[in-house]
Amino acid sequence: MAVPDIKEKWSATINTVTIGATSEQGGTRSSTVSVGGAGGLGALSFEGPLGNRPAIAVEVWDSGGESLPAALREVYGDSLNSAADWAKKAVEFGAELICLKLQGTHPDGGDRSAQQACDDVKAVLGAVGVPLIVWGSGVHDKDNEVLPRFCHVASGENCIVGTITEKNYRTLVAACLADKHKILAESPLDINIAKQVNILASDVGFALENIVIFPTTASLGYGLEYVYSIMERCRLAALTGDKLLQQPVLCNVGFEAWRAKEARGSDEEVPGFGPAQKRGPLWEATTATNLFQSGADIFVMRHPQAIKMLNESLDEYYGPRES
């Protein structure tokens, strides 16, 4: 008896988004990164093209590195005292993108000024050649003050800037339109809200092709199964033609994984889970590889060993990353 063909056939692909601009493109980056382009679910190459290899961004803060778990402080050392030095170390660890989080601009976390944030961005742009993701504090009023200033300072660099939400999008959309950046659209693991944020940005003139979705995520043991199901449903809708969900997806893996007590806790706090130096990177890498299967296109990572393990997993599907 003939074996039936049970492969899915998809009618659409994920948008390709390019981040960064070289001198020929009006920027100063030594490289650009393209994500998206998949014509099927993660790793299922027999159903459609895999698209571009998912990109690894490494998280860098403008200040506050001393609060990271010990296992991370050990590998970054004194570079945590400077966003530029931290970014250099991140590139050594395999960062294709730097995700600069403006933690210090939060009113309760230092309340650094827009000028200080711009100085940090300039320092990072001067220290590394990879493209940037710049992430605000999450406080709407402060982000509306800081991020447009950043957009102007980095005009021409084609960064991803975020985040916009359904309650706070107009100011940042206008700034990204003026200075030609991509946007990171945030939603709380809700397909309808994710679509609504994209609709709002599109209604004020921002192209859907220049948006990256951040659906929020969770780590291993802390709701990963639910996150996986929502992301998979979004990807399935995109592949069947929903243009409001055909954007590449960014997952904030490092932040979520290192919040877990099993990753960041001391050996005494989580007995039986092994040494913290191995436990944390494994928690982060396992979270990332699961999210790859559900359709993630950009991973924001922290630990070099987790980055190494994720790259080894991606190599099985895409081949070794080009140097």
Mean pLDDT by 10 residues, the chain (323 residues): 70 97 96 96 86 97 94 96 97 98 94 95 97 96 96 96 95 97 96 97 97 94 92 95 97 95 87 88 96 95 98 93 70
> Across all residues in the chain, what is the average pLDDT?
94
Q: Would 37 be classed as within a structural domain?
A: no
Q: Would 237 be classed as within a structural domain?
A: yes
pLDDT at position 43 is 81
Alpha carbon distance 143, 82 (integer Å): 21
CATH of the domain at 131: 3.20.20.20
* Residue 237 dihedral angles phi and psi, to the nearest 5°: -65, -40
Which pTM value belongs to this model? 0.95
Q: Would 257 be classed as within a structural domain?
A: yes
CA 61 centroid distance within chain: 14
Beta bridge partners of 61: 101
Model pLDDT for residues 28-75, shown as the tens digit of each residue: 999 999 999 999 988 888 888 999 999 999 999 999 999 999 999 999
Q: Would 248 be classed as within a structural domain?
A: yes
Number of domains in the chain: 1
Domain ranges, residue 67: 54-316
Tokens 């991606």 belong to 314
State which amino acid sits at residue 106: H
Q: Would 187 be classed as within a structural domain?
A: yes
Q: Would 239 be classed as within a structural domain?
A: yes
pLDDT at position 320 is 87
pLDDT at position 2 is 59
The answer to whether 176 and 182 are in contact (CB under 8 A) is yes
pLDDT at position 52 is 96
Q: What angle do CA 55, 61, 62 make, to 5 degrees?
A: 135
Q: Would 147 be classed as within a structural domain?
A: yes
Q: Would 294 be classed as within a structural domain?
A: yes
